[in-house]
Amino acid sequence: MADALTDADIKKIAKLSRLSLPDSQVGAVRTQLSTILGHIAQLQAVPVAGVEPMAHPLRIVNRLDADEPKAPMPVADLLRNAPAVEDRYLAVPKVLGDGGGA
């Protein structure tokens, strides 16, 4: 299968992955992913008609535990790892553009 990957494919995958990828690296990434996908293409040769996909090795059915509240983690502990904080909140860049209303 696997049509050859194009530079446009790589840019699209990088965007979906939320990874900024400089144009200068697109070609190298395309070559690496193409090599790996070329190997993975072996999967197409395995007969799988009627085989149920197996997403998980354990046959666990949903398990219910008693709904018992526990002490939450202190907010200060959680914020300690945040890259930017204002008061008791995570600081982020402006989300809404100019003129965007809420």
Partner 1 sequence: MSRPLVEICGDVRSGKVTARSRVEAYLAEIARREPEIHAFNEVHADAALAQADAVDAMVASGRDPGPLAGAVLAIKDNIVMREGRTTCSSRMLANYRSPFDATVIERLRSAGAVFIGKTNLDEFAMGSSTENSAFGVTKNPHDTTRVAGGSSGGSAAAVAAGFCDASLGSDTGGSIRQPAALCGCVGFKPTYGRVSRLGLVAFGSSLDQIGPFARSVADAALVYDALAGRDQGDSTTADVPHEPLAAKVAAPLAGLRVGVPREYRSGANAPAVAEALERAIAAARAFGAEIVDIELPLTDIGISTYYVIAPAEASSNLARYDGIRYGHRAKLAPGEDLEALYSKSRAEGFGPEVQRRILLGTYVLSSGYYDAYYKRALQVRRLIKEEFDRAFERCDVILGPTSPIPAFPIGGMKDPLSMYLCDVYTVNTNIAGIPGISINGGFADEGGRRLPIGLQLQSKAFAEETLLRAAAMFERALA
E strands, the chain, where? 85-86, 89-90
How far is 34 from 10, CA to CA, in rounded Å?
10
Neighbours of 14 (CB within 10 A): 16
When binding is defined by CB under 8 A, the residue of 4, 23, 24, 60 that contacts partner 1 is 60
Q: Tell me, what DSSP letter sits at residue 28?
A: H
Candidate residues 46, 69, 100, 102; the one interacting with partner 1 per rule CB under 8 A: 46
Spell out, one character per residue from 2 to 41, where the chain touches partner 1: x when CB under 8 A holds, - when not: x------xx--xxxxxxxxx-------x--xx-xxx-xxx
Confirm if 69 and 75 have CB atoms less than 8 A apart. no
Positions that interact with partner 1 (CB under 8 A): 1-2, 9-10, 13-21, 29, 32-33, 35-37, 39-44, 46, 48, 51-58, 60, 62-63, 65, 73-74, 77-78, 80-84, 90, 92-95, 97
